[in-house]
Amino acid sequence: MSTDAFNALACPLDGDSLTQAGASWRCPAGHSFDVARQGYLHLLPVQKKRSLDPGDSKEMVAARQRFLNAGYFQPVAEAVNAAVLRDTIGTNHPVACMDAGCGEGYYLRQLATTDLQLSLIGLDISKWATLAAAKQDKRPRWVVGSNANLPVLPETLDVLLCLFGFPVYSEFARVLKTGGVLIQADAGPNHLRELREIIYPSLKPEKMPAEHAPEGFSRLGTQTVSYSLTLDSQNAIADLLAMTPHLYRASAEGRARAEALASLTVTVEVTLQRFLRQADPATTTP
Ligand SMILES: C[S@@+](CC[C@H](N)C(=O)[O-])C[C@H]1O[C@@H](n2cnc3c(N)ncnc32)[C@H](O)[C@@H]1O
Ligand SMILES: [Zn+2]
């Protein structure tokens, strides 16, 4: 329906609220953050960076953008959209939603096609991912930042997406409103099994999701999105390989075997978990 940029931003240095002043955002202590020419905001202080160019590289981002925009994971996006629609019935509009580790922004672009009135923020530690996201859609707020120190004010989000990402539950619990929802997608045990069989000499058992809900959350539900996907070009196979950790984990021979294929049918198997942010025990009256 309508999509706006989320504004309840916090200074990554002291947590105070940021206000926009022209082409920069400032906190009361005078820390100032400039909006980049392409429209994204850099809120990852150098002293909190673990490397010079953290997160996904420019090449990985470009491969993911081509692959996702071709629609190969659209059923996953549809399941995420359906979960957001179902879990925000009765929520005041606009629905404030963050994608933590948003990559090049595919899932927020897909969410913006629903009938929901949205206030969106996509955050990624990779400058390349955030830049690619900002180039494709000007409506959401795009931020370079870390899940370990979300530059967002406490209890301001209705929905938090963590899709094939790196969850930091204490931070997710801090920024979600009570009654807000965390939607998490991870690779299931059979995800891309056929590709892994080609690139690795033997397959390691995949780790299963923990049974317990993270602290501060209760489990709303778990579902599996599963289908068979045929990639019939070497470029699409190369893009899939480049957007997964397998590109680095596989041996040169393993990668060469995958790159030689003209077509490949793979299983897509994604586990979608939904968690409800519970009231803090300290704030509930007995
Ligand atoms: C596998 S990709 C998934 C991207 C996107 N969610 C998608 O499914 O298209 C993981 C993303 O997490 C980002 N990332 C890694 N560490 C992060 C952190 N500490 N905080 C935020 N993002 C991070 C990477 O740069 C990368 O874009
Ligand atoms: Zn500050």
- The ranges assigned to domains in the chain are 2-283
DSSP notation for 165-194: S---HHHHHHHEEEEEEEEEEEE-TTTTHH
Give me the helices (H) in 112-268, please. Answer: 127-136, 169-175, 193-199, 234-242, 246-249, 252-259
Q: Is the pLDDT of residue 282 over 80?
A: no
Instruction: Determine the pLDDT at residue 95.
Output: 98
CA of 48 to the centre of ligand 2 (A): 14
Give the residue, out of 40, 42, 56, with the most ligand 1 atoms within 8 A of its beta carbon, to mutate for a pocket test: 56
> Which one-letter DSSP state was computed for residue 23?
T
Q: What is the mean pLDDT of the chain?
A: 94
Interatomic CA distance for residues 77 and 81, integer angstroms: 6
CA of 31 to the centre of ligand 2 (A): 5
| Ligand that comes closest to the CA of residue 33 | 2
The CATH number corresponding to 2-283 among 3.40.50.300, 3.40.50.150, 3.90.1170.50, 1.10.240.10 equals 3.40.50.150
Q: Show the CA angle centred on residue 102, arms to residues 116 and 142, nearest 5°.
A: 75
Q: Which residues does ligand 1 sit against, CB inside 6 Å?
A: 55-56, 64, 68, 101-103, 106, 124-126, 129, 146-148, 163-166
CA of 283 to the centre of ligand 1 (A): 33
Please write the tens of the pLDDT for every residue from 12-49: 999 999 999 989 999 999 999 999 999 999 999 877 66
Instruction: Determine the pLDDT at residue 1.
Output: 64
Q: Is the pLDDT of residue 143 over 90?
A: yes
Please write the tens of the pLDDT for every residue from 82-128: 999 999 999 999 999 999 999 999 999 999 999 999 999 999 999 99
Q: Is the pLDDT of residue 5 over 80?
A: yes
Q: Show the CA angle centred on residue 98, arms to residues 95 and 100, nearest 5°.
A: 160
